[in-house]
């Protein structure tokens, strides 16, 4: 006979547990949604700009380490060549010493008075003895030279070894700075990827419009009539102004793209003035000056000297800001912590 028993109803306690679990899940889901909302376009832009500035700083550190590496490599190579030449000189001196020793051995090694007594021709012997004395003096001189060369060679070898140690440290630092730079750029790209294609296009168009406006403002003479400190500074600023709108690219030294110190180096090169490659060395390319003494064409440094631009007058800087941006004019009030200016001689 078929059973007609009614299905067992869930207990009140079980219903309460299930209800509480479902409610908790909904609450957690709601909290997660509240805790991690999608950032707005303006928030993404601000974060990307901040990462850009950090990437720019990492870029200067990376290229500074790279420049130091190249310098050390040249120094190590020169020292190694010097050590090789020194070793060859010692080998030649030793060879010469061996020839002297052979000549001395051929003299017989007898006491000179005995040799004189046995000699059939005393006059000839005296001539030979005089020559032997000269050989002995040369031998002593050669030994002294060898000892001095060996001392110098030991110092040069130690110097080369120390430089190799420095080079290994710089190469390690170089790898760390490169990793940091790539990390900042990747993080900025991830943030940009949270926006729609239209939003990203709008940010790019806003930047281009701002760049065009800054160029037009400069062309209208709205940067004031401040006189440059020198003809070279004026020429450098004029050259840099022709690059407005060119993209910032890590390691860029022109003419198609620039990083911040690449732009300043390129601009001064157009004025036939050589300045060094990165911000941390450009700070020493002239006397330092305060904000109130700035003149158009002066180098201006910001954020612990990790960023540089050219003073353009009226509290404005012409610079390559950071990855993703373009060469542009910008108010000094928006660029972070001003350090000092440098007037290139």
What is residue 152's three-state secondary structure? helix
Going residue by residue through the chain (345 aa), what tens digit of pLDDT does each one get? 444 455 455 554 444 444 444 444 444 444 444 455 777 888 888 888 888 888 888 889 888 888 889 888 998 898 899 889 888 888 887 777 666 566 555 555 544 544 444 445 555 545 555 554 555 666 677 778 878 888 888 888 898 889 888 888 888 888 888 888 888 888 888 888 888 888 888 888 887 787 777 777 777 777 778 899 899 999 999 999 999 999 999 999 999 999 999 999 999 999 999 999 999 999 999 999 999 999 999 999 999 999 999 999 999 999 999 998 999 999 999 888 999 999 998
241 and 330, same domain (yes or no): yes
- Output the pLDDT for position 271: 97
CATH number, domain containing residue 316: 3.90.1720.10
CATH number, domain containing residue 78: 1.10.287.1490
Examine residue 198 and state whether it is found in any structural domain, yes or no. no
Q: Which of 167, 191, 215 is the last residue of a domain?
A: 191
Determine how many CB atoms are found less than 10 A away from the CB of residue 47. 16
CB 299 within 8 A of CB 164: no
Domain count, the chain: 2
DSSP letter, residue 340: E
* Structural domain boundaries, residue 123: 41-191
d(CA 264, CA 310): 7
- Output the pLDDT for position 105: 55
Examine residue 154 and state whether it is found in any structural domain, yes or no. yes
238 and 133, same domain (yes or no): no
Examine residue 250 and state whether it is found in any structural domain, yes or no. yes
167 and 93, same domain (yes or no): yes
d(CA 40, CA 294): 39
Examine residue 211 and state whether it is found in any structural domain, yes or no. no
Predicted TM-score (pTM) of the model is 0.66
CB 93 within 8 A of CB 149: yes
- Output the pLDDT for position 139: 67
d(CA 58, CA 52): 10
């Amino acid at each position: 006979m078929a059973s007609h028993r009614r299905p067992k109803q869930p207990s009140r306690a079980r219903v309460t547990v299930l209800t509480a679990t479902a409610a908790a899940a909904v609450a957690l889901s709601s909290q997660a949604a509240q805790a991690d909302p999608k950032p707005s376009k303006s928030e993404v832009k601000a974060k990307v700009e901040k990462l850009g500035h950090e990437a720019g700083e990492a870029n200067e550190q990376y290229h500074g380490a790279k420049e130091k590496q190249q310098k050390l490599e040249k120094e190590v190579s020169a020292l190694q060549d010097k050590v090789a030449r020194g070793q060859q000189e010692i080998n030649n001196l030793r060879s010469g010493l061996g020839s002297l020793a052979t000549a001395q051995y051929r003299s017989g090694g007898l006491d000179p008075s005995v040799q004189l007594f046995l000699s059939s021709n005393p006059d000839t012997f005296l001539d030979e003895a005089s020559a032997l004395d000269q050989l002995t003096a040369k031998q002593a001189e050669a030994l002294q030279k060898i000892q001095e060369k060996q001392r110098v060679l030991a110092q040069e070898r130690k110097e080369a070894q120390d430089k190799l140690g420095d080079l290994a440290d710089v190469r390690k630092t170089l790898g760390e700075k490169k990793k940091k730079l790539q990390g900042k750029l990747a993080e900025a790209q991830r943030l940009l990827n949270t926006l729609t294609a239209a939003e990203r296009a709008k940010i790019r168009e806003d930047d281009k419009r701002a760049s065009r406006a800054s160029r037009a403002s400069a062309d209208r003479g709205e940067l004031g009539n401040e006189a440059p400190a020198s003809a070279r500074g004026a020429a450098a600023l004029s050259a840099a102004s022709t690059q407005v709108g060119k993209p910032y690219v890590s390691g860029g030294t022109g003419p198609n793209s620039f990083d911040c110190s690449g732009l300043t180096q390129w601009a001064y090169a157009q004025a036939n003035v050589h300045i060094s490659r990165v911000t941390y060395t450009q700070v020493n390319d002239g006397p330092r000056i305060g904000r109130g003494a700035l003149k158009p064409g002066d180098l201006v440094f910001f954020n612990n000297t990790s960023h540089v631009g050219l003073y353009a007058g009226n509290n404005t800087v012409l610079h390559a800001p950071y990855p993703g941006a373009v060469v542009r004019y910008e108010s000094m009030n928006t660029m972070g912590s001003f350090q000092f200016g440098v007037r290139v001689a």
